[in-house]
Chain A
Amino acid sequence: VVSTQSTGQTFQHYFKQINLRTMLRRISSPAVSIGRAAVSTSAVPRTKYGGKTTVTLIPGDGVGPELAESVTTIFKEMAVPVEFEKIELNREQMKDEGSFDYAIKSLKRNGVGLKGVINRSADFRHHNLEFRGGLDVYANVVRCMSFEGIQTHHTGIDLIAIRENTEGEYSSLEHESVSGVVESLKIITQEKSMRIAKFAFDYAREHNRKKVTCIHKANIMKLSDGLFKACCKEVSEDYPMIEYEEQIVDNTCQQLVINPQQFDVMVMPNLYGNLVSNLAAGLVGGAGVVPSKSYGENIAVFEPGARHTWMEMKGMYVANPAAMVLSSAFMLKHLQLHEAGDLLIKAVNNVLNKRSCLTIDLGGNASTHDMTKAILSEVDLLA
């Protein structure tokens, strides 16, 4: 029996008293689209007036504001029908409880957000986690695809790392029972494990993926990862067209550097997801080029795949905005603005593949502005 702050109140509709299997069969109908926010679109709140949708923008700390600026510049030039409700939420503002709660409310009412990374505040609350917990943004999806123009050791990678984002090792339940002895609780629940497994299989099905691999360490964490693994296996039985396999996480780390092409969709708990998605991001070019999408029942948040604020370079405009711009492009597609979204994705891919503009992480010395300009020129060319 596990009760944590994050599970209880958010789980109203499907899971509480209904038999899980029945629930699964019910939601398995094709009407439920996972490419959006895991429920039919009519249930997702939208702040849309006069053709323009408002989304929450949280630039965050470090180089976040510079990356956000890149996005707003591009959207303005492209005349995208999106309004940003910008919420400054950085380390200083964190001290004011009000701004944090306001950000959560904004995301709740808009249903869609674009964010950078927030550094933890001085007073012990970890706000990135609370976002995810409070809003129950439970599935983080990072697609790592090799770019032609980025020289990496391995090519031909196209894997999707799906990470359970609200429990696991990052449940923030630590205590010091005896001085010098700290205990940290890892929470794995059947509800959330079933939920993320179902999300992974639905996502795989919708995106025509062939295989889902469950990453775990159940040989050692027999109960927690054992439960996770069992849930994945149970869900896999409802998707006979998708291959299912399990792999121990330490072997996965090795396999990722030796033969990453073997992976298709991977589903895992919080910590392994964190490490594996960072690893995979590094394999295809790093934090500067990999976007991610996170989904909850009624909310979608788009942010760079590897969450690093890069505080040392704050204000220097050297960060690569590609990841942030790609994330915003996926946000456009989520808002059904497919034409603009696809155009932007193609433009960024072209810029990266042509190697016409290289920021520090890609081996050059272009600035964030240069990259933004290059992306805009490419958009002009393509349009």
Chain B
Amino acid sequence: RSKQWYQRRVRGIAKFAFDYAREHNRKKVTCIHKANIMKLSDGLFKACCKEVSEDYPMIEYEEQIVDNTCQQLVINPQQFDVMVMPNLYGNLVSNLAAGLVGGAGVVPSKSYGENIAVFEPGARHTWMEMKGMYVANPAAMVLSSAFMLKHLQLHEAGDLLIKAVKNVINRREVQTRDLGGSSTTPEMTRAFLNELDTLYKNQ
């Protein structure tokens, strides 16, 4: 297996990170790497991030070694704002962070290319053993679809859906297995729909 780095692509992801941070009013971008050992590959990644950071003086930029990051995430995760990293570390860090806030059932994600956007749950697990049993938590998937609506400029529907899902999760009345309860996927879906009704009526 070889890790192939393209300077242009790395600058691309770094620029994406900084643009995203700026658009969403975030204060800091942390580059996660292991350049002390993978001197050439991660060294290149780190150098590109640093180069791009110079175009965004209003956003703080720092670098952190990935093994320390794993430790920091479990000791003091509040220190992190935006994190940008290569593929493998990103896989592990996003799974770790998803676990910190509730797990694969509640965390959505968005993926972007130049002319394409894909929305999917944040931690990608098929959970084959439970196929057909309808016990999985649909919140992550529904939130992802809500972000897709916003991407399509359907902000009213998107925001309403996001709010509905959050309310249901926060109220803890209907909880699937991963949240400690025993509700089914359809029950959760029904809960979202009821909440949507309530919110829409109260508008």
Contacts and interface: CB of A to CB of B under 8 A. Distances in A.
Contact of A286 (B43, B44, B75, B96): B75
Interface size class of A (residues with CB under 8 A): 35 or more
A308 B70 CA distance: 13
A174 to B, nearest CB: 4
A257 B100 contact: yes
Given A254-B104, A286-B71, A120 B36 contact: yes
Interface centre among B38, B66, B70, B125 (most CB of A within 10 A): B70
A170 interface: yes
Nearest to B124: A250
A208 B116 CA distance: 53
Interface in A42-71: none
A183 interface: yes
Interface in A88-143: 120, 124, 126, 129
Given A251-B125, A253-B92, A282 B71 contact: yes
A312 to B, nearest CB: 13
Contacts of A126: 36-37, 39
The interface residues of chain B, by DSSP majority, are classed as helix
Interface of B: 1-8, 34, 36-41, 43-44, 66-68, 70-75, 88, 91-93, 95-96, 98-100, 103-104, 123-125
A276 B74 CA distance: 11
Contacts of A120: 36
Contacts of A223: 1
Contacts of A283: 74
Nearest to A259: B99
A181 B40 CA distance: 9
Interface in A251-300: 251, 253-258, 271, 274-279, 281-283, 286-287
Nearest to A126: B37
Given A124-B39, A126-B37, A278 B68 contact: yes
Contact of B40 (A153, A176, A224, A306): A176
8 contacts: A120-B36, A126-B37, A180-B6, A180-B7, A183-B2, A185-B2, A254-B104, A271-B88
B37 A129 contact: yes
A271 B91 CA distance: 13
A6 to B, nearest CB: 14
Nearest to B77: A257
Contacts of A176: 40
Contacts of B98: 254
A277 B68 CA distance: 10
Contacts of A256: 74, 96, 99
Interface of A: 120, 124, 126, 129, 153, 169-170, 172, 174-176, 180-186, 217, 221, 223-224, 249-251, 253-258, 271, 274-279, 281-283, 286-287, 306-308
Contacts of B7: 180-181
Majority secondary structure of chain A interface residues (helix, strand, loop or mixed) = mixed
A306 B71 contact: yes
Contacts of B91: 217, 250
Contacts of B40: 174-176, 182, 184
A279 B104 CA distance: 18
Contacts of B66: 274-275
A184 B41 contact: yes
B4 A183 contact: yes
B37 A172 contact: yes
Contacts of A186: 1-3
Nearest to B90: A250
A350 B92 CA distance: 35
Nearest to B89: A275
Contact of B96 (A181, A185, A279): A279
A153 B39 CA distance: 35
Nearest to A254: B99
A287 B70 CA distance: 12
A275 B103 contact: no
A374 B165 CA distance: 51
B2 A181 contact: no
B38 A181 contact: no
Contacts of A224: 1
Nearest to B6: A181
Nearest to B67: A278
